Amino acid sequence: MGKSISKLVNDSTDRECKEALRFLRTAVLSKLKSFEQELLNPPSNNHTVPIGTIVDKMQDIHVNASKSGDALSNEINKTLDSLFSGDTAAALKIGVSATVKAFIGATEIGESTHRDYHIYVQDNALIRLDILLYRFNFSSENILRGVHSVNGYLFYKSIINHSEVSRDVMVYEITRFVRNYMKATAFTKSSKLDEEEVNNEVAQYLERLHSLYRVFENYDNDSGSSQILKWKRK
């Protein structure tokens, strides 16, 4: 089962084990901190959608005694539940959860990392979720008393400033978001993905966002402030 390394450090009464766990915690924290610095200070030639106002950050380090990693992936899924809300975001979470489970369950010995980001619409805002997964699989559980692997994760959730994103990139990211969550929904319903349905859904999201942004642009006009109430999804 996956257990928080901080809790194990605090609970351990074995001096050598406690020192080994502290060393592992420091090493993995260094990896997560390095990723965080790269995320917050991107290179000048970075072409991804810029990270926006950070609204949530979650990280932890776990030791795992099971080769399957199922227990640990279930624990991380609880964290993901707090980052995704709404039907579409919940569907998108299915894909992210599958990635987490596959990564944690991999059996390659040594160090591995997985980095990715997702753009999605939640609560009438464009959200960017950055993900770092870290894993170190030991060659033997005897190296650290029954520990099969050490896993760390870092999730950064931010609200994108749409004025910093070109229209072409906006259309691309919304399409990518819609296709991903519709794939997850189609998978659960055992049906094929219809590209026309994807395009129609994209158009609705763009119309919705444009309507919302226009409210603020015309905030001083009484007619503009009521537009937010008129939009309905088909």
pLDDT tens-place string over residues 44-63: 777 778 888 999 999 888 87
Whether the predicted pLDDT of 36 surpasses 60 = yes
Mean pLDDT of the chain: 78
**155 Cβ partners below 8 Å, 6+ apart?**
56, 57, 58, 59, 79, 80, 83, 129, 130, 131
Phi, psi angles (nearest 5°) of residue 69: 75, 10
Query: Does 234 or 55 have the greater pLDDT score?
Result: 55
User: How are beta strands 2-4 and 125-137 bridged, if at all?
Assistant: unpaired
- Give this prediction's pTM: 0.76
Question: What is the SS3 assignment for 149-204?
Answer: EEEEEEEEEEECCHHHCCHHHHHHHHHHHHHHHHHHHHHHHCCCCCHHHHHHHHHH
Greater confidence, 5 or 126?
Answer: 126
Ranked by mean pLDDT, the top range of 74-88, 125-139, 188-202 is: 125-139
Q: How many Å apart are CA 147 and CA 62, to the nearest integer?
A: 10
More confident: 45 or 110: 110
Asked whether residue 164 carries a pLDDT value surpassing 80, the answer given is yes
Mean pLDDT of 96-124: 86
Averaged pLDDT, 155-160: 92
Q: CA-CA distance, 157 to 8, in Å (whole number)? A: 28
Of residues 202 and 48, the one with the higher pLDDT is 202
82 by Cβ neighbours in 10 Å (0-12 / 13-18 / 19+) ranks as exposed
The residue type of 160 is: I
> What pLDDT score was predicted for residue 65?
64
Position 190 scores a pLDDT of 53
Q: What is the pLDDT of residue 158?
A: 93
The total number of residues written for the chain in this structure: 234
Tell me the domain boundaries of the chain: 2-160, 167-229
Tokens (6 digits) for 157:
């959730």
